[in-house]
Structure 1
């Protein structure tokens, strides 16, 4: 692999094999497959001049471009249209002799040059009508051009208004108000090690139903510096989520889980991403939305749990989103789920306490048969 290249490229256009590269003879820090905001760090390399996919679906292309580019294109579309039809009106006036003599009956009143023709074109398309310029009955050609101009202006306004409305109501904007926690945690739930993360709706629109999916993404290095992406489904306790209040998504670390044999020390050496997504229908617009994020091993906090944010008030439930990403230490065995289950089977269900050490150096003792709620209370 060439060590002098400075850019990392992931190419998925022609094949499922992705390429990575080195810089100054040392491998760079592994780039994320997906950013925290749900955007994929994938660069597509297409044949030079191949604009077919964008031109065939021009409406989607205009919706996905940046606002600055869209405003520029729409402004140019109006200006070019005014100039084109202004040139048509000027040619009609020139052929009819309106530009040379002021005594003849003009095709358009007060249009004797290109400036007047341009102003008449703009007034016609924008339906301004200052009253100084107007169509006469002397030229049938001018009447035909005005008719075509009016129909085209209505068509252009419809397209621009539709694209602006669709861009403002984009599903991506709504997806930004539904979010996942910034980290995932590993703790005990009913005597089972579980990986969990939070999901909440910051607008409080009470999404009643949605589907959440999760899969593990890792790459396998091939020859000559290329890599192959592998995807593993993550089994969740409940794929269907009611988001009237923030909820916790749970994945049990049991046999069959790709994290079953990983302990807290193993996570630091692993290189994978846990990609999660939540697909739902907005109650205000009826549009389908999707929120997604990813967690790397550095985003997984072993031996912690999320703080409680849901409380019962006098008349309603109260949610404190200030604690949405806050975690606290709990007593959890600092071993992988496989070793923990093996120790549990070896003890034959005896009430034996296992030691756990947190990053702060504190030692906790965990009862294998103690429910999670009791363990949490004894660790605070």
Structure 2
């Protein structure tokens, strides 16, 4: 009854403070950070690394640049072809003689110049318009546009292909449990998180670790915002080279070296921290490395719960994963704090070893008096 009432109070407190809580990493792994007052020279660095800048752009901006690059180059060279025809007096408005040989056949205005630019750059070549050997300038312009067209095609098509095949999309099929739980595991108080791979293809060389972000004050009086503390997560099969074919429950042992050691069930919501969990691995299909991350704030850590079973075996002998229970939790008996658990273990060890009790008073009895008739 007491645990249920405490759970209700925690939920009410969570609903009140949820709006005011800010987090660095969202549940889907996006970083909530803003850079201000960046110098202009630093902004130019993004243009120097134009390839990474294009890859990091959102799709709407990328497609805008893609369309603008092609349309802009076609229109620019269309103007140049029109200028060549104008300077060579090939246009009908100059009334060229019958024996006049133009630089480009069948260019009659700006529209036909644009069409010829389009045909040249994308190598369509309908055969109606063509460059003649009369004008050297037109030949050089044709060479320049052909080379520039190949560069634009290679860069933009490569950027779109790289954007589609980025391992970041593979991370969308890795999911973490909505909440983290604290309960006993193997006789130790642990913080547990469940993670699952929604694809049958494996992540090779998987590695799981965590960072605890909180505000700390140094002995010198310096306040450090977003101070990072390493959190070690382990799996029963080992932390490295995970066999990630079914959902795994990773856990952090709350011992004397853990930053959660002084936290109790009553003071958990009073702390301000953000636990960021990372999963690094190599995509089996593309051999590209990817990183998946999520975060938990105190309101998303449930004390005294464990995860419900999720893997079962069918009558046909196959293993079945029921994702309806993926984030479902079950309330269990859990020590009030890690300090309480270790004190309990220490007292049991002392009693088993037969340590003397200082409060026990020893009295001597005279055996002769006891046996005297």
Which bracket does the TM-score occupy, shorter chain normalised? 0.7 to 0.9
> Quick check: 1:124 aligned with 2:120?
yes
How many Å separate the matches in 2 of 1:78 and 1:292? Answer: 37
In the other structure, the counterpart of 2:56 is 64
User: Which residue among 144, 151, 154 is the counterpart of 2:150?
Assistant: 154
In the other structure, the counterpart of 1:342 is 343
| CA 1:226–1:78: 2 relative to 1, 3 Å | farther
Partner deviation per Cα, 1:78-100 (whole Å, 9 max, x = no partner): 11111211111111111211021
In the other structure, the counterpart of 2:327 is 325
In the other structure, the counterpart of 1:228 is 225
> Quick check: 1:239 aligned with 2:239?
yes
CA RMSD of aligned residues (A): 2.3
> Quick check: 1:256 aligned with 2:260?
no
Partner deviation per Cα, 1:302-349 (whole Å, 9 max, x = no partner): 11111111122334322122221111111222x111122112322448
How many Å separate the matches in 2 of 1:93 and 1:297? Answer: 72
How many Å separate the matches in 2 of 1:77 and 1:261? Answer: 59
How many Å separate the matches in 1 of 2:350 and 2:21? Answer: 42
How many Å separate the matches in 2 of 1:68 and 1:289? Answer: 24
| CA 1:302–1:33: 2 relative to 1, 3 Å | same
Asked if the contact 2:202–2:283 (Cα under 8 Å) also holds between the matched residues in 1, the reply is: no
Q: What aligned pairs does 1:83-162 form with structure 2 within 5 A after superposition?
A: 83-99=75-91, 100-102=94-96, 103=98, 104-162=100-158
Query: Could you say which structure has the higher helix fraction?
Result: 2
Structure 2 counterpart SS, 1:143 = helix
In the other structure, the counterpart of 2:10 is none
Query: Could you say which structure has the higher strand fraction?
Result: 1
> Quick check: 1:292 aligned with 2:293?
yes
Moved more, 287-296 or 41-50: 41-50
Would you say how many aligned residue pairs link Structure 1 and Structure 2? 323
Structure 2 counterpart SS, 1:264 = coil
Structure 2 counterpart SS, 1:265 = coil
Partner deviation per Cα, 1:67-120 (whole Å, 9 max, x = no partner): 111111111111111121111111111121102134321111111322211111
User: Which residue among 44, 47, 52 is the counterpart of 1:52?
Assistant: 44
TM-score, length of structure 1 as denominator length: 0.80
In the other structure, the counterpart of 1:301 is 302
Q: What aligned pairs does 1:200-219 form with structure 2 within 5 A after superposition?
A: 200-219=196-215
In the other structure, the counterpart of 1:7 is none
In the other structure, the counterpart of 1:190 is 186
Unmatched 5+ stretches in structure 2: 1-18, 353-373
Structure exhibiting the larger radius of gyration computed from Cα positions: 2
Asked if the contact 1:214–1:275 (Cα under 8 Å) also holds between the matched residues in 2, the reply is: yes
In the other structure, the counterpart of 2:174 is 178
Unmatched 5+ stretches in structure 1: 1-27, 352-380
Shift of 1:127: 2.2
Q: Which runs of 4+ in 1 moved over 4 A?
A: none
Asked if the contact 2:203–2:244 (Cα under 8 Å) also holds between the matched residues in 1, the reply is: yes
Asked if the contact 1:209–1:243 (Cα under 8 Å) also holds between the matched residues in 2, the reply is: no
TM-score, length of structure 2 as denominator length: 0.81
Asked if the contact 1:186–1:300 (Cα under 8 Å) also holds between the matched residues in 2, the reply is: yes
User: Which residue among 20, 23, 42 is the counterpart of 1:32?
Assistant: 23
Shift of 1:29: 2.2
